[in-house]
Structure 1
Amino acid sequence: MHSLCVKVPKKDAEKTRRYLAKLGVLADMKIKKYGEYVLIPVKERIDGFELCEDDFEEKKRGKKIGSFDIVGDIAILKYKEGVDYISLAEGLIREHKNIKKVAVDYGVSGFERIRNLRLIIGEGFETIHKEFGIRLKVDISRVYFSPRLATERWRILEKVKDGEIIFDMFSGCGPFSILIAKYRRVKIFACDINPHAIYYLIENIKMNKVKGIIPLLGDARAMATSIRADRIIMNLPHSSFNFLDSALKAANKGAYIHYYEILPRENEKEIEIVELAENLGYKIEILEKRRVHPYSPSKDMFSFLIHLI
């Protein structure tokens, strides 16, 4: 079967396979050798890797597990009607030694983006997730967290310079803020309206021994009136546009806004963003528009890098 794949040197193959498994993007096909390299089949494009295409042999399994996320030691399966989740959960536990719990996700709801979860195996939804040298404690039934944005978080970190003032408008348990504070000397206003998110953010600040993060419990619009930032992170992809005016007010001249939104695959959202800014009296330029990852058969998550001129 033909598939997109990640091409890595043999010495990095197992480390890369484990990382791609955590992201939940491994295709259900056998890995193959290619000279001094290994080809790992994946379901979607992954930033930061050399990609190619090739033919692969399908894995022989009685039941297909399909796509799933791994947060810490918890595997999260998307709900589909008629699926034997107990058998799938037992299969995951057998195949992945790092998985201790398996949960079914019935969808995200509410302004706080909470997953509706049911545990199939294991007890409790609290776990510790590791990525890029940081540890994140989170209860996935109370705080939304996406392991699929790990590469995106690193991408933003690489743009940040020491001394910046950053406004993380929808911080959750702090994956963006903790990572940036770990590797840069910055001041970060990390805001969330969910009190459980702020609780875990504070726990993660202590656990990672990072400095410069100021946790803020409340609505990002209200917080934006008293903050002036050089860089703003807007990771609320279903509602970001409703907060863009507040982000612009909080942005210093020359600031950068990392804006995320779920959009149809073909869209001209950048025109709408520029028009909104101009109507509010701001001059901006869109430096970058990128597809981050698929969301549904017709929609993707997009990232826009907005620069205030």
Structure 2
Amino acid sequence: MISKAIKVKRNEISRIMEFLKNEGLLIEGLKIIKDGDLAFLPVKSVPEGYDSYEMNFEEIPRIRSYIDLVKIPEDLKKYLPRSMDIVGNVAIVKLNENIIEYSREIGNAIMLFNKNIKTVALDRGVKGEFRVRDLEVIVGDGLETVHRENGIRIFIDLGNVYFSPRLSKERSRILSLVRDGETILDLFCGSGAFSILIGKKRKVKIYSVDKNPRAIECLRESIRINKIDNIVPILDDVRTAVNYIPNGDRAIMDLPMESINLLDFVINKSSYFHIYYKTNSPDDVKNFIEGKGLKVENYGLVHGYSPSEGMYYFDARRGA
């Protein structure tokens, strides 16, 4: 690109560029031309005291996403993921099998583009009894992180505890329904994201149950760093815990693969339920829940899993 330019000494580039920026004279997006001890800077107009030149400057490519930085064959870039989950300083990506061999290059590009990312992990699905993500660290420090959302901090060991940042708005929705003085049962609490948010923002008592030992450890750490004293972490199977925890005003059942099948064990423990379930037929799930004696007052999509299947919430009242 042909542009007006001024000539400066190389050791004065930074100082003069700052001056030009402050005066609104610097043309950004063009590469400085260096010639020995001198350099040419592109300008909109020539400031007083400088000679005017016309130079052909190289345009600096605009970096719009990590994709612009990935060093893989051009014909494979169509397989690069356009979205990913960011949890704290960890980026979680799913990769097409055609680009798996370039996973390290992809991870490096993600970290270069987003300086806040310290680890990039490959999502290979779910694993184990606790249905956590099967994550492989591509580049970075590890899978423990502190995630910030809605004014709280959540400590998470992503290798051993499931967490989805895509529920952030849903957690805020539930918070908006909770009133001071309630007793909350977070029946499959996982990392405790619902519990921590509600416990931080409302004067309530929360009983948070999970049978994953690492999840309860993470919850205890989140309680500590958020300085909360109204949450009772319980390491147990919900089917056992319901025999000794108090009844609640509101129960959260965030177990999308199994929640409705466990209603029989918990249905007498709360007046109101927030049930989450993965389905391609939410109307059928609504009917199933109401067949258990609950009245579904509201339901809707939280987020999609596939073109035909999504995770839905069902707000249901007992005795309605």
Corresponding residue for residue 268 of structure 1: 284
Q: Which amino acid aligns with 2:104?
A: I
Post-superposition offset of 1:265: 5.0
Q: Which amino acid aligns with 2:156?
A: V
- Distance, in Å, in 2 between the alignment partners of 1:129 and 1:266 is 30
Corresponding residue for residue 120 of structure 1: 138
Q: Which amino acid aligns with 2:291?
A: E
Q: Which amino acid aligns with 1:291?
A: L
CA contact under 8 A between 2:135 and 2:159: conserved in structure 1? yes
- Distance, in Å, in 1 between the alignment partners of 2:114 and 2:177 is 34
Per the normalisation by structure 1, the TM-score is 0.75
SS across alignment from 1:244: helix
Match of 1:145 among 163, 166, 184: 163
- Distance, in Å, in 2 between the alignment partners of 1:199 and 1:77 is 26
Match of 1:290 among 289, 296, 300: 300
- Give a deviation string over 1:20-69, Cα, whole Å, max 9, x none: xxxxxxxxxxxxxxxxxxxxxxxxxxxxxxxxxxxxxx988453332210
CA contact under 8 A between 1:225 and 1:249: conserved in structure 2? no
SS across alignment from 1:177: helix
Counterparts of residues 218-297 of structure 1 (less than 5 Å): 218-226=236-244, 227-251=246-270, 255-264=271-280, 267-277=283-293, 284-297=294-307
**1:201 is aligned to 2:211:** no
- Distance, in Å, in 1 between the alignment partners of 2:268 and 2:243 is 7
- Give a deviation string over 1:68-93, Cα, whole Å, max 9, x none: 10110000012431212222212211
Post-superposition offset of 1:245: 1.4
Corresponding residue for residue 117 of structure 2: 99
Moved over 6 A (4+): none
- Give a deviation string over 1:240-272, Cα, whole Å, max 9, x none: 112111221211xxx210000000156421111
Corresponding residue for residue 81 of structure 1: 97
Give 5+ residue unaligned stretches, structure 1. 1-57, 278-283
- Distance, in Å, in 2 between the alignment partners of 1:79 and 1:110 is 21
CA contact under 8 A between 2:118 and 2:141: conserved in structure 1? no
SS across alignment from 1:188: strand
Corresponding residue for residue 162 of structure 1: 180
Give 5+ residue unaligned stretches, structure 2. 1-63, 69-73
- Distance, in Å, in 2 between the alignment partners of 1:239 and 1:102 is 30
- Give a deviation string over 1:201-243, Cα, whole Å, max 9, x none: 1111011001210000010111112230100000000011121
Q: Which amino acid aligns with 1:305?
A: D
- Distance, in Å, in 2 between the alignment partners of 1:150 and 1:299 is 20
Report which of the two has the higher share of strand.
1
SS across alignment from 2:262: helix
Highest CA radius of gyration, 1 or 2? 2
Q: 1:173 to 1:219 in 2, by over 3 A?
A: same
Q: Which amino acid aligns with 1:256?
A: Y
Q: Which amino acid aligns with 2:205?
A: K
Per the normalisation by structure 2, the TM-score is 0.73
CA contact under 8 A between 2:259 and 2:276: conserved in structure 1? yes
- Distance, in Å, in 1 between the alignment partners of 2:96 and 2:239 is 36
SS across alignment from 1:198: helix
Post-superposition offset of 1:144: 0.6
- Give a deviation string over 1:278-304, Cα, whole Å, max 9, x none: xxxxxx311101011001222000000
Match of 1:302 among 285, 299, 312: 312
CA contact under 8 A between 1:65 and 1:88: conserved in structure 2? no
Corresponding residue for residue 133 of structure 1: 151
- Distance, in Å, in 2 between the alignment partners of 1:256 and 1:249 is 10
The alignment yields a C-alpha RMSD, in angstroms, of 1.6
The number of equivalent residue pairs is 243
Corresponding residue for residue 37 of structure 1: none
Deviates more, 1:103-112 or 1:157-166: 103-112
- Distance, in Å, in 1 between the alignment partners of 2:156 and 2:240 is 25
